[in-house]
Amino acid sequence: MGGLQKAIEICIGEAEGNWAVAAEEINNGSTFILQGDRQYYAASLIKVPIMVAAFKLAEKGDLRLRDQLTLEAEDQVGGCGVLQHMSPGIKLPVHDLVTLMIIQSDNTATNMLIDLVGMERIQSVMREIGMTQSEIHHKLMIVAVDRKATNCVTALDVTAVLRLMAKGECVSLHASQQMIHIMKQQQLSNGFTSLLPALQETVVGSINDWEAASKTGNVEGITHETAILYAGKRAVAITILVEGVAERQAQETIAQIGKSIYSYMTT
């Protein structure tokens, strides 16, 4: 990963703000780490371990992904997602809530899942999957008067979860496959794949040059992206955490990092 490390360092060196990167090639275990243990406000990256916790409980039989939850008016919060605009009283399966939480970063779906799984159980699962420097303390888009701590993650912790998924070791092989499938349906991006070759859409059934299973995190001053990039027979898991950079500049740099990783994987 020496050449890739240099390319990423050049990209980041030309940008402002604070950056953390943790990349690992799944096939051979080679890594590149920059400020990997530094804690950042998690923003929507906290939704990745919430998803894992839901699948963990389903694997244990404590809930069923087909169980339905009722959307209540008090559940609806702003920010990303469509559920804030839906009619209270509708019922959605847990699996659909997880999907909305990941591919649309739906905050209402997220809070419903936090209520279902429980904050303590989510934190416990985070410890089990190696997120030892990351924490969850609150729901999203709700500011408690007595909030004493905030949700935080590290680049190393998040990449460790993606590694487990890619190896089929996050909860179980079946759960890992399902979670990666959901993340591949991502509808939001901070630019990680924007400079990659255009996907083939004219030939039905064609095999694309690459795929990405990803999740973003954005609030003012924060631009995060984590992904497993698949190209050829290789896979690289990467987490990029950024603070103190204008969103557009952060996205442009993230795009350059994505291009560098793709080049590393295909040349």
User: Which pLDDT tens digit goes with each residue over 43-68?
Assistant: 999 999 999 999 999 999 999 999 99
- pLDDT less than 50: residues of the chain: none
Q: What is the pLDDT of residue 199?
A: 80
| pLDDT for position 7 | 93
Q: What is the pLDDT of residue 147?
A: 65
What is the reported pLDDT for 78?
A: 95
Residue with tokens 């859409």: 201
Helix/strand/coil percent split, the chain, to 5:
40, 20, 40
Report helix, strand or coil for 235. strand
Length of the chain: 267
Domain ranges of the chain: 2-266
Give residue for tokens 């409980």: 57
- With tokens 């996050």, the residue in question is 170
Say whether pTM exceeds 0.85.
yes
Q: Diameter of the chain by CA atoms?
A: 56
H-helix or E-strand containing 125?
A: helix 119-128
Residue 2 has a pLDDT of 79
Cβ atoms 253, 225 nearer than 8 A: no
Q: What is the pLDDT of residue 3?
A: 86
SS3 of residue 203 by DSSP: coil
Instruction: List, in order, residues 6 or more apart from 205 with CB less than 8 Å away.
Output: none
pLDDT of the residue at 146: 66
E strands, 206-266, are 210-219, 222-231, 234-243
Nearest in space to 113 (alpha carbons), one of 147, 77, 86? 77
Q: Identify the pLDDT of residue 251.
A: 97
Whether 117 and 48 have beta carbons less than 8 Å apart is answered as no
Angle between helices 119-128 and 47-60 (to 10 degrees): 90
Q: Residue 71 carries which DSSP code?
A: P
In 3-state terms, what secondary structure has residue 172? coil
Fold of 2-266: Beta-lactamase (3.40.710)
Please give the pLDDT value at position 197.
93
